Amino acid sequence: MSKQQNYIAHEPDSNGYIDYSQAENDIWAELYARQLTNLPGRACPEYLAGLDKLALPTDRIPQLPEIDKVLLETTGWKTAAVPALISFGKFFELLANKSFPVATFIRSREEFDYLQEPDIFHEVFGHCPLLTNPSFAHFSHLYGQLGLAATKEQRVFLARLYWFTVEFGVLRSNNNELSIYGGGILSSPGETLYVMGDKPEIRPFDLVDVLRTPYRIDIMQPIYYAIDNIAQLDEIAAMDIMGAVSKAQQLGLFAATYPAKAG
């Protein structure tokens, strides 16, 4: 949802299929193999269960109709092929209709560890497994509905809720064990290892605090917010989220905990 664009997405044919090159399939295979070694003991169980349900190919980029079959059977969701970057309005509209936007390009080797723009590995490997989970799917749907009805100013605050949950959310269990559910982490070999280390600050989830926390998309996150379990997303969805947005607007943003972007 940024304005910068370094990649061009592929156009699916009339059946929704894309002819990816061998080089593109090879990058998928390498990313997939690397994350399969990184995720055990780090990814949350609900994500791993969803990954099993999707049964993604390990040697090629999956076709979206293959993903749709599983999502429709589990939670009624489907994917939607989109250009590399889309507007906030289009993004919220798709989620409100239980369609998850998937940019149909894959990253270059130069951006193997971390990518600013969401590629198909980020969208499919990072997010789609949890879209088989009812709590995650419900939260995503409600979020889309709220965003679709929100003003431009409110959407800026709502973006932080998505960022610190769906994109970069973590779980902290009662015994203090940390696990990952955010697709931005799960699809990033670099950030998967980073988040489990001692550099970032893990804060307990507080809705208004989340809405007031600034972030940068081009760095490893200095702050993550932890919920207790995936089912807590149902509790968040039941909150007065737009009321919290109004409160966050009144209070203003926290001071940034990262350096300003050069240039």
Residues of the binding site for Fe cation? 122, 127, 167
For 243-262, b/e burial (b = at least 16 CB within 10 A) is ebbeebeeeeeeeeeeeeee
Whether the CB-CB separation of 119 and 24 falls below 8 Å is answered with no
Which ranges of 97-133 would DSSP assign to H, the alpha helix? 120
d(CA 157, CA 246): 9
- The verdict on whether 73 is a catalytic residue reads no
Q: Is 110 a catalytic residue?
A: no
141 catalytic residue (yes or no)? no
* DSSP reduced 3-state for 77: coil
> Is 127 a residue of the active site?
yes
Which residue positions form the known binding site? Answer: 122, 127, 167
| Residue 89: count of CB within 10 angstroms of its CB | 13
Of the candidates 117, 122, 135, 188, the residue annotated as catalytic is: 122
DSSP 6: -
Q: CA–CA separation, 77 vs 72, rounded Å?
A: 5
Q: Pick the catalytic residue: 24, 46, 123, 127?
A: 127
Q: Which residue has the tokens 């990313």?
A: 31
The Cα 143–Cα 160 span in angstroms is: 12
Q: Which of 24, 93, 167, 191 is catalytic?
A: 167
Q: For residue 35, which of 121, 123, 128, 164 has the smallest C-alpha distance?
A: 121
Active-site residues, by number, are 122, 127, 167, 187
